[in-house]
Structure 1
Amino acid sequence: MDTIIDQLSLNFTENFSVPTYVLNIVICAILLFFLKLVYVRYGSSISNRAQLSRVLILVGLTTFIIISIVKSSLALSLGLVGALSIVRFRTAIKEPEELGYFFMAISIGLGMGANQLLPTIIGFAILVIIVMILSKDKLKGSFSQNLLIHLRCANEDKSKFTEQISEIVSNNSNQVDLKRVKYSDDEIDFNFLVNVSSLNHIKIINDDLLKIDNGIQVTFLSNEI
């Protein structure tokens, strides 16, 4: 009975070391920063990678803190399972790649929080090498742009113009994500997030859209914040 009570009790005073904790959290932050750079450089998501990459650091450090707390107590570990059962993601992850990087950030936090320095560093290095190999020549030289399109047209022509615009944008882009579309009385507004291989594709999209209607307004904006 005494053994079970000892396992359920907290042992921070015996096991917790401030220098070790600080060193581990600093190393964890450095690894997560490198993960951020890897995601921005080699990720293929057309969403704002620079913005999401900052979240990876927060997720990894939060995981580190949680594991550092619960690893010394069986009671806290069991309580964590119950607490996580009520947690739900309110924002859907659109691309599997984003989920993969989130798991990488969590694994770094888990490893460093459990004081497993060498396995964490070796595992992270291997993952980075794999990412670099898989990303080689993938979307090489490409970049993302916000494409804003405004067109005045009659209500009966809206379906036709929508189909033509979508076809032109899709045929000249590596990836396309429709962020917003607005239909008003005599107007249509589109907001696409597109990934194109070169500036020439931007010109082609613009020229082809102007063939639909000379009055169409086309604006390309950088996707970087």
Structure 2
Amino acid sequence: MSCGERRAEQEESFVMTFQDLFKKSALELFPNQIEPLTLILTLVIAFLVGMGIFAVYRRCFIGVVYDHALNLSLVIMTLLVAVIIVTISTNITLSLGMVGALSIVRYRTAVKNPLDLMFLFWAITSGIAIGAQYYYIALVAWIVVTLALVFLKRIKGSAGTYVLIVTYRSDPAVEEAVRRCLHAQPGKFRSKVVKGGTTELTMELYLKTDNLNITQPVQNIDGVQDVTLVEYRGNLEA
């Protein structure tokens, strides 16, 4: 056998050995199946953590209207993400196919409250950790995030944001009296709508809970027809 043929045979043997090593490593990283007890434990922990997120969302909700459907989806999302992670961790071919399938999915549901988006991300993160069998990470994260939310909610302060809508007769004297009455209140002007002989003035006020009787002095002004004070918990445009 010539020197060139011997070198070609060695190179071919090296390539085959490297391919076998790669396949063996891939098989070791991605076992063919997961134990039934491990799967059941994963789903139970995912459900419990999801219910914990459910309880925190219900207790710490500060949006405009409580959305029970979104809260239910947090529990189911934790379970589904855990199932996805368990599935792709047992088969390398299936993991690549699922990544490709999920990459073409587009969700167009608008999330208006940033806190809702945070809870969705929390559920996804917990599902990933539980599906990867890092149960303690999901549990510790739930404790830390819950304590952070409770603490931040308590230091929010006693002053809240309110929207005051005053409807009065379109008269410069009446408008001057309304503005003079609201001048001492912390806040800013938002809008003014004039319809025929009626003017609607909208103000953003920052009031404490013991100072919500601002509507009475405005209502006593001659020419004022209606006064509405609503607590606002969303984002106001600048």
- Fold match (TM-score > 0.5): yes
What whole-Å deviation, never above 9, does each CA across 1:180-204 have from its counterpart, x for those lacking one? xxxxxxxxxxxxxxxxx75974x75
Contact 1:172 1:205 (C-alpha < 8 Å) held by counterparts: no
* Aligned mate of 1:81, from 99, 113, 120: 99
Q: Counterparts of 1:172 and 1:89 in 2: how far apart (Å)?
A: 36
Q: How far 1:172 moved relative to its partner? A: 6.3
Structure 1: segments with no counterpart, 5+ residues: 174-196, 221-225
| Match in the other structure for 2:85 | 67
- Show the counterpart of 1:186: none
1:98 aligned to 2:132? Answer: no
Aligned residues of 2:47 and 2:75 also touching (Cα < 8 A): yes
**Which structure 2 residue ranges, 5 or more long, are not aligned?**
1-18, 170-192, 231-238
Q: TM-score, normalised by structure 2?
A: 0.60
Selected match of 1:157 from 195, 202, 205: 195
Paired with 1:159 and 1:35, the residues of 2 have a C-alpha distance of 52
SS in 2 for 1:171: strand
Q: Which residue pairs with 1:25 in the alignment?
A: 43
What SS does the corresponding residue of 1:135 show, helix, strand or coil? helix
Which range moves more in the overlay, 50-59 or 16-25?
50-59
| 3-state DSSP of counterpart to 2:195 | helix
Q: Distance between the aligned counterparts of 1:48 and 1:159, measured in 2?
A: 38
Give the counterpart letter for 2:104 in structure 1: I
**Percent identity of the aligned residues?**
24
Q: TM-score, normalised by structure 1?
A: 0.63
- Secondary structure in 2 aligned to 1:138? coil
Partner residue in 2 for 1:110: 128
How far the C-alpha of 1:119 sits from its partner, in A, is: 2.0
Aligned to 1:171: 205
Q: CA shift at 1:110, angstroms?
A: 0.8
Residue 63 (structure 1) shift: 0.6
Corresponding pairs, count: 186
- CA 1:24–1:72: 2 relative to 1, 3 Å: same
Q: Using the alignment, how far apart are the partners of 1:70 and 1:159 within structure 2?
A: 67
Q: Which amino acid aligns with 1:102?
A: L
Is 2:154 the counterpart of 1:136?
yes
Runs (4 or more) in structure 1 with deviation over 6 Å come to 139-142, 209-212, 217-220
Instruction: Call closer, same or farther: CA 1:208–1:106 in 2, change over 3 Å.
Output: farther
- Compare CA radii of gyration and give the structure with the larger one: 2
